[in-house]
Amino acid sequence: MYQVINPATGELVAEYPLATDAQIGEVVSRSHQAYLSWRDTPIEERARLVKRVAQLFAERTDELAAIITREMGKRIEESKGELQTVFEIFTYYAENGPALIADEALAIQGGNALIQKRPIGSLIGIMPWNYPYYQVARFAAPNLMLGNTIILKHARNCPESAAAIESIMVEAGLPADAYINVYASAAQIATMLTDDRIQGISLTGSERAGSAVAMEAGRNLKKVVLELGGSDPMVLLDSSDLDKSVEIAVEARMGNNGQACNAPKRMIVMEDLYEVFVAKLTERFAAFEAGDPADPATTLAPLSSQAAADELVGQIADAVAKGATLHTGGTHIEGPGAYVSPAVLTGVTKDMDAYYGELFGPAVVVYKASSEDEAIELANDTVYGLGSGVFSDDVARARRVGDRIEAGMVYINAAGGSQADLPFGGIKRSGVGRELGALGMDEFMNKRIVRL
C-alpha cells in the first residue's frame, strides 16, 4: 500500500493500492508509444508545454503545499517555498532547453562533424519524500524538454502529491503517457528494468536504495543517475560576526527539519570560536517549539514518520552512550506525532554511528579544529561527498580550503542550497551524475555524432 499518514498526528488519511503486474506491463508500453511521438514534437512546442507546467505549479501553490504538509510534515511556508523552486526549474528548462540541446559543431581532422543532442527513450524516476515536488521537477523537467518520457515511482508516503503532479502534466497539455505516475513496488521496478524499451533510471534516496537500483540497472545495462546521502561539512575558519554565522548554521541545518541530503550536518569550527559557537548554537536549537506544520507560526515540524523519528533518536542515544556530549534535545517530544527536539552533539568519535552515518533530522555534530589542515581532514573523513560550505572573512582563505574538500559542490560563504541553473550532485557514496543546470540535460541524452 501507498499511504498518507499525517506525521503530525499519526492519523491514517488515505490508502492507495499497488499497481498490478499487468498494469506495470501496460505502463511500459504506453510510455514507449508516447516516446515515439514526443521525441518528434517540435522543440518549441515542448518548451511551450513545459512552461505551462511551471505556470500550473505556481497557480496551484496553496493546494499543492497543503498536500505535502499533510503527507510528510513540512512546515507550510517551506512547502510553498518548494513550489517556487519547482516553478523556477520548469521555467529554466522551458526557456533554455532549446539552446541547451542545439546541435554543436565539432572541428575534426580532415573535415567537420556535429554533435546532435537527442533523447533516448522511456525513463524511470524513483523519488523520495523529503521534497516531493522539487525532486520530481529536477528529473522530469530536463528530460521532458529533451524528448524523453517519464515513468515516475514516488515514495510510498507521497501518493497524493504524486497524483497531483501527474494531473498537472495532463492539464498542461502534455501528450497522453508522456508522464505516467505509477504506484509500483521495488520488485516491479526491477521487472521494468529488464524491458529493452526502458533506457535509464534516476533515483534520489538512501545509499542502500541507490546500491540496489544500481545493481539492477547494471545487470540490465541501463544508464543510471543516483543522488544519495550526504554528511556535508560546514567549515567555519573565522568570523567577524559570529551571531550571523550561527544564524546561517541554524537556518541551513534546520531547513526542512533537517531532512535534506545537502544540509550541513557537521559543523567544523576553529578552536578560537568553538566554545562560543557551540553555546550560541545550543541556545538557538533549544528555542524551537513543536507545533502544527500547517500553522505558519510553527517553528518545529514533525519528522516524516515515526520510524524516522525513532531512527534519529536511536543514533543520538548511541553517541551519548559511547561518550558524546548532548547539549540539548535529541529526544521524542511527548504527544502525538513524530516530533524530535533539535539536538547538538559534540565529542563524537569514529566508533559512533553519528560520525560516519547520516543524521537525517534536526541534529548536528560540532567538531573543533586547531588548524586548516585538521579542518580539511575532518571535512573529508566521510564516505559521502555531496556538498560543503567554507566560511571566512578572507575569501581567498575560504577558496584555498574549499579547493581541498572532496565534494561535488563547494559553497564559499554560503551553506549549500539549490537553484535551477546550478548543477547538483556528488561523489563517493553520495552518488553519480548531475541534475539541474546544463549538466542536468546531459545525463539521459544521446550525443549523436554526425560526420560531415
Active-site residue list: 227, 261
- Cβ(96)–Cβ(441) below 8 Å: no
DSSP per residue, 392-433: -SSHHHHHHHHTT--SS--EESS-----TTS-B--EETTEES
DSSP per residue, 89-147: HHHHHHHHHHHHTS-EEEEETTEEEEEEEEE--EEEEE--SSSTTHHHHHHHHHHHHHT
Centroid of chain to Cα 53: 20
Q: How far apart are CA 414 and CA 200, in angstroms?
A: 34
Q: For residue 127, how many other CB atoms are within 10 A of its CB?
A: 27
Q: For residue 266, how many other CB atoms are within 10 A of its CB?
A: 24
CA angle (440 as vertex; 436, 442 as ends), nearest 5:
165
> Where do we find the cell 554528511?
231
* Amino acid at site 434: R
DSSP per residue, 318-350: HHHHTT-EEEE--SBPSSSS--B--EEEES--T
Side-chain-side CA neighbours of residue 197 (13 Å): 18
Grid cell at residue 377: 581532514
CA angle (407 as vertex; 403, 410 as ends), nearest 5:
55
Q: For residue 327, how many other CB atoms are within 10 A of its CB?
A: 19
Task: Write down how long the chain is.
Answer: 452
